[in-house]
Amino acid sequence: MTETDNPPRLAVLATGGTIASKKGADGAASPALTGQDLLAVLPPMAVELAPRELLARDSSCLTLADMQMVSDAVGLALADPGLAGVVVLHGTDAMEETALLVELQHRPGKPVVFTGAQFASDHALSDGPGNLADAVQRALTGVPGVALVFGGRSLPAWGLYKFASDSADAFRLAGGPQAVLAPLPAPVAGLRVDIVAVHPGGDALHLDASIAAGARGIVIAALGSGNGTPELVAGVARARAAGVPMAAQPRGSSSAKATTQRRALRSSGSMLPMAMRPTTALVAHMAGGVASIRTRRGVSCIANPWSKRRAARRWAGLDAQV
């Protein structure tokens, strides 16, 4: 066989999760299989798979340092000219957050495909082998960027969220298309960004407590299209005056009509990322900051505040005015 006849080579990064889990004596499933174990059940495929063990953890237990480790490992694989792409085996609880982090930090020019399972490897409905085979096939297409292959779907990292815990078809997309101008390479390990939920009658107590605890940024899980109570809005204004950047995450589309409180959040310096859940907005905030901009269609979207056109808008003090 000549060099040109060699099959493409993919890195397979194993991090644990349900796909690698078996039920223990206590009835609880926990990671027990290696990446090599999982690859052994695949049907014959015209590809060389190079497994690497990174972690063996349930993704609900991942730390920011763990997520950064996964992103760094993906970056090393992307830099290897002998690799055509990367498949990441990951737990579903934090899959969307790690996938977005990789997308933000690397903007891959090769395929990076995340997959996992809803049912453990020894479950009668085990879906891991099928998802893994589909993920490998998706990586072999050569389509660049980060994608999730799961339950027969192929979805981009932007707007990804887990909507079901008891179905093999577990992920969907929120909102519309997004725009990122350049990679956001800031490491997230050791960085604290908190999520503060808004509810009827809520005040700024939790916001103030997060800032007092040393939060470098705050994601506001807002009401409706990005609204907050008057007390919360006043707290956001105080935080911004102190140099703490904010990202207000709406429950629905932020292209809806602007209410007084939504305008107040914007005027006090809060940002309104679209097509994200609070936890993925948090990842974007940590990976370098987010700013609310306008596309030609007038839709709010994510932008890189460290791009050349926004060089003055740094993580420590983003200008969120539209």
What average pLDDT does range 272-294 have in this prediction?
61
Report how far apart, in Å, the C-alpha atoms of 104 and of each of 92, 212, 248, 254 are.
19, 28, 19, 22
- Top CATH class of 193-317 equals alpha beta
Higher pLDDT, 231 or 177: 231
Cα 31 from chain centre: 22
For 184-207, what is each residue's pLDDT tens digit?
Answer: 777 888 888 899 999 999 999 999
- The domain limits of the chain are 3-173, 193-317
Residue 202, classed as helix, strand or coil, is: coil
Sheet arrangement for strand 217-221: 193-197, 217-221, 246-249
Give the pLDDT confidence score for residue 240 in this predicted structure.
85
- Is the model's pLDDT at 97 over the cut of 70? yes
Tokens of 124: 């009668």
d(CA 187, CA 172): 27
pLDDT-wise least confident of 100-109, 162-171, 190-199, 296-305 = 296-305
Give the pLDDT confidence score for residue 76 in this predicted structure.
98
- Is the model's pLDDT at 292 over the cut of 50? no
What average pLDDT does range 100-129 have in this prediction?
94
Q: Across the chain, what does the average pLDDT equal?
A: 81
- Is the model's pLDDT at 304 over the cut of 80? no
By the 8 A CB rule, do 178 and 159 touch?
A: yes
Give domain 3-173's CATH superfamily.
L-asparaginase, N-terminal domain (3.40.50.1170)
d(CA 157, CA 277): 12
DSSP 71-137: HHHHHHHHT-TT--EEEEE--STTHHHHHHHHHHHH--SSEEEEE--SS-TTSTT--HHHHHHHHHH
- Is the model's pLDDT at 73 over the cut of 70? yes
Residues acting as catalytic residues: 18
What average pLDDT does range 62-67 have in this prediction?
94
Give the pLDDT confidence score for residue 130 in this predicted structure.
97
pTM for this structure?
A: 0.83
d(CA 263, CA 227): 8
